[in-house]
Structures are given as structure tokens and as C-alpha cells.
Amino acid sequence: MTFSATQIAVLISGNIEGDASASVGGFGRIEDAQHGQLSFLANPRYEEFLYQTNASIVIISDKLELKQPVTPTLIRVGDPYSAFATLLNHYQQLKTQQLQGIQQPSYVAPSATYGNNVYIGAFAYIGEGTKLGDNVKIFPGVYIGNNVQIGDNSLLHPGVKVYIDCVVGKNVTIHAGTVIGGDGFGFAPQPDGSFNKVPQIGNVVIEDNVEIGSNATIDRATIGSTIIRSGAKLDNLIQIAHNVEVGSNTVIAAQAGVSGSTKIGSNVMIGGQAGVVGHIQIADGSKINAQSGVSKSIKRPKAAVTGSPAYDYTSALRSQAITRNLPELEKRITNLENQIRQLVDEKMNVGEL
């Protein structure tokens, strides 16, 4: 597939400088892109490569003032990074749209239904009563249990497992190895010290426009639903426990874990390896720093916390600054103590004490 500068400019609402007929068939980093490739410049630290690159087309900011002539055709936009992401999404959609049909061997239950332009890869399993929307892409080795619903344009990469009764919305992407709807970690302690399993009879509901990385686990609810709200983005290797609710447009980085029945608001940002205890609430717009341990509710919207146990981010920075200055403070205190002793000795020598 090739695209001209004119076609690209239309897609990203950009203005062309140079040869509008220049065409590209791939993408490359600005520092090593080749002829026939498209690149972009978003970070000013890479501007020097703009004057050296072999790329045929480069997307740049409409505010950038050139310091010297350039070879590639330029397309100016307000936000080069966002524009480049738009193009990548468009390119990926074109590639996945070409995938259609049911490969063999695979199993589709007689009572399962599916819409138009569906792709089901080899060795996939589609259970009884499952409903797949239009343009759903099921890659090889995916397991979909009974009575699962998957909305239009959703994409499940190889090895994804979606257990019985779970619901996946429209335009959802789930990457390889992720498990949706495994049992929550529910065990009742017994008098003899053993544990009896509490059956997990709920499900997982993933709303529209969600993306979930590889090897994440989202547990089904004990009763009711574990919910991932629309627009949420979850990184690789994330654990979401039973009955958790993740708010819309919330982002969670890799290796973070959220314990059972916690409610996370909208537009929350959670850093990598952060841990959140169960049965608490995280207010809208909160920011949880990487490796933080959140042990109580965050009630103030847009609060920022860090540390373990996590507390106010600004206060934590002040504490860190004080900690770094402790050796100097120790010296100052020692000097003051010496001065006080010297004054006391002098007064004793003159008989004032």
C-alpha cells in the first residue's frame, strides 16, 4: 500500500510544503528512515535529523521554523505525534480489514453467531451462544467461552482467553496471552486453617474503545461484574481483581495490581508496579506514581500520591529534599552545639554561671 502526500494531508488535516505527489509505503524513525518511508518530528531534540533524513515525507509542527533547506516533502500539523498516531491507526486498520473468513482447523459452536467480515484464525475456539459483531478479528489460538459477546471492530490477538458470560465492547483491542474472566481470588478461611473456594459466578464487562496489553488478567466478579469503562488503557502484565471498576479513560502501566472491589475513577493515571488495596475508592483524575502502595481511599479529585504507603506527591518531594539535606543539617547542628559549649565554657570561666 502506498499513499501520496496529498492523501496523507487530508487524513491528518495538514498543510503540504514540497512535492504533493511524493508517496510512501512504510514508516521509519527520522534518524534512519529511507526513501519511500514516512516519518515525523515531534521532539525538538531530533530536529538535526530533519535536515539529514532520507524519508520521502515528514510530518512536522506548524510552528517549527526551518534552519536550513530540507529534502523531504513536509506536512505541517498542530500536533505531529498525534497526527502520526492517527496514520498508524489507519494503516493498521487497513491491514486487519484484509483478514476475513474462518480458517481451519478451528471450532465455532453451532449456536454461535457472527457478523460481516469476521476473521477467525486457525485453532480458535468459539463457544455456544457466543455473539461476534461485524469486523471482529479473532487471531489463532484464541479461546472464547460460552455466551460471550464481542462488539464490532474488536481485535483479539493470539492466545487470548475470554471466559464464559463475559462482554467485550466495540473497538476493543486485547493483546496476546491476556485472560478475561478467570476466577477472582476468593477463599473462605475455615476453623482448621484450610480455605474453601468461594464460587465466582459474575463476569467481566469491557466497554468500548478499551485496549489491554499482553498477559494481563482481569478476574470475573464474585457476584455482578468486574468493569473496565470506555476508553481505558491497560498495559502488559496487569492484575485486575474481582469486582473492581476501572473508570473511563484511565491508564494503568505495566505490573500494576488492583485488589478486589476497589473503584477507580475516570482519567486516573497509575504508574508501573503500583499496588492498590481492596475495597477503596480512587477519585477522578488521581495520579499514582510508579511503585506506590495505595492503602486507603483517595477522595480528592486530581490528587497525586507517591511512596508506600502512598501519600501526597508534593509533600513527598519536600520530604525527599529534606532527606537529601540531612548530612548538611547534621553538620550545622554539630557546629551549633560546639558554639554553645564554647559560650558556656567562656561564661563559666568568668564566673557568670
Which positions are annotated as active-site residues?
242
Q: How many CB atoms are located within 10 Å of the residue 279 CB? A: 11
At 104, phi and psi to the nearest 5? Answer: -120, 145
Packing angle of the helix pair 326-349, 313-324 (nearest 10 deg)? 50
Residues 329 and 339: their CA atoms lie apart, in Å, by 15
Q: What are φ and ψ of residue 186, in 5° steps?
A: -120, 115
Amino acid at position 55, single letter: A
Tell me whether residue 119 is exposed, middle or buried, using C-beta atoms within 10 angstroms of its C-beta: 0 to 12, 13 to 18, 19 or more: buried
Strand duo 3-4 + 23-24: pairing? antiparallel
| Placement of cell 498495559 in the chain | 235
Given the C-alpha cell 493483546, which residue does it identify? 175
User: Any alpha helices (H) in the chain, and if so which ranges?
Assistant: 5-12, 47-50, 80-97, 313-324, 326-349
